Amino acid sequence: MNGLKPNLSFDPKDDYEKAKKDIFQAINSIQKLSPQQRERLAIELFGIERIELIRQVSTLFLSR
């Protein structure tokens, strides 16, 4: 997230705000992982086929 760290010190009461807080915490946690750990987590969450598809699409858009 470009080095941005949202303030997570609040305790939201509504489900939307809780979910948003959880996502920011997850992003911060993922940023601390090594590239190998990130890849392993992505495969566990999404499956190898989807990861390969994301890589192909990313390569296509980044090569423009």
Q: How are the residues of the chain apportioned to helix, strand and coil, as percentages rounded to the nearest 5?
A: 70, 0, 30
Average pLDDT over every residue of 54-63: 88
pLDDT over threshold 70, residue 6? no
Asked whether residue 58 is domain-assigned, the answer is yes
Domain that holds residue 61: 35-64
The pLDDT value given to residue 63: 82
How many domains is the chain built from? 1
As a whole number of angstroms, the distance between CA 24 and CA 31 comes to 11
The pLDDT value given to residue 10: 61
Asked whether residue 23 is domain-assigned, the answer is no
